[in-house]
Amino acid sequence: MKLGNVMEILSAKPLSSFVDLDLDVKCACSSDMMSDVLAFPKEHMVLLTGLVNAQVMRTCDMLDIRAVVFTRGKLPSAEALEMANENGISVLGTELTLFVASGKLYSGGLVGGTKDKA
């Protein structure tokens, strides 16, 4: 699906200055532990998280993750948002919980990451 579909499914709002609605999204990872995200990377992955610090964007930068959704109405820190804007990472926010947001995307056809070599 496209990031635009993700936005629609989650009734999410754009938080970054630029959101690439046409971005291809094939799988998702939901976690507040960046250590876990780093262990299961996959291409065309959207990250769902409740963690709002700058290390979220650093992790995305390292893994070439182009889109992040903050759940449960949480807002990224100023540094995180700045880093996202600098690196062209699309940031969305939804009021849904991490669990519900994950479930909706899974039902919508997204799969999880794997433990394969990056």
Provide the binding-site residues for another protein, judged by CB under 8 A: 32-36, 38-39, 41, 51, 53-56, 58-59, 61-64, 79, 117-118
First to last CA, the chain: 21
- Minimum Å gap between C-beta 60 and another protein is 11
- Minimum Å gap between C-beta 18 and another protein is 19
Q: Check: CB of residue 37 under 8 Å from CB of residue 47.
A: yes
**Nearer to another protein among residue 62 and residue 75 (C-beta):** 62
**Nearer to another protein among residue 74 and residue 104 (C-beta):** 74
What one-letter code names the amino acid at 108? Answer: G
- Minimum Å gap between C-beta 8 and another protein is 28
**Nearer to another protein among residue 56 and residue 69 (C-beta):** 56
Tokens of 86: 């600098």
For residue 14, what are the CA distances in angstroms to 18, 20, 93, 96, 101? 8, 10, 6, 14, 16
Tokens of 47: 């990250």
- Minimum Å gap between C-beta 48 and another protein is 13
